[in-house]
Amino acid sequence: MTPTAPRPPQGGELYRATLPNTANASRIAREFVTSLLTTGGHRGLADDARLCVAEVVTNAHRHTRTPLIQLCATVNRKQVTVAVTDNAPWFLPVLTPAAPGGEQESGRGLLLLDRLTQGWGWTLLGGCTPDRKAVWFTLGRAGTGGASAPVPGYAP
């Protein structure tokens, strides 16, 4: 996966949440994004968004020591892009092929992101000496096309 940022959805509304890095962060993030999607007419995307948000926030909680996990969601009438930021720029998500027989103990969540989303990736933030990273994904209504094209310089 290359370090790219998502294209902000055209005409979208931007929502942010800052969560303490606790075991409850994933549940709170899922509820936050679900409420955005169900009140905004994207009820059909809510289940996939819950799974993807849980994966990305849980990874930030388990694999970083960031005190705060930041979530940024941009929603328009066709798609939603969610980015989760932590302060561990050098712990990058890597998609690994599934082990034969499904015995793989970790890394399956990124396969889930890869299958459910129109696109996902990560970007380093903080200039020449990155001090954080954002892991993002885009979900869209059926028939809205493929993954968002990366736009250099967009930092959720």
Sheet holding 132-140, edge to edge: 13-20, 68-75, 79-86, 132-140, 119-125
Domain ranges in the chain are 13-97+106-140
List pLDDT tens digits, range 14-33.
999 999 999 999 999 999 99
Give the C-alpha separation, 12 to 44, whole Å: 18
Closest CA to 19 of 84, 63, 106: 84
- Predicted confidence band of residue 110 (pLDDT cuts 50, 70, 90): confident
CATH 3.30.565.10 fits 13-97+106-140, yes or no: yes
List pLDDT tens digits, range 39-95.
888 999 999 999 999 999 999 999 898 999 999 999 988 899 999 999 987 777 766
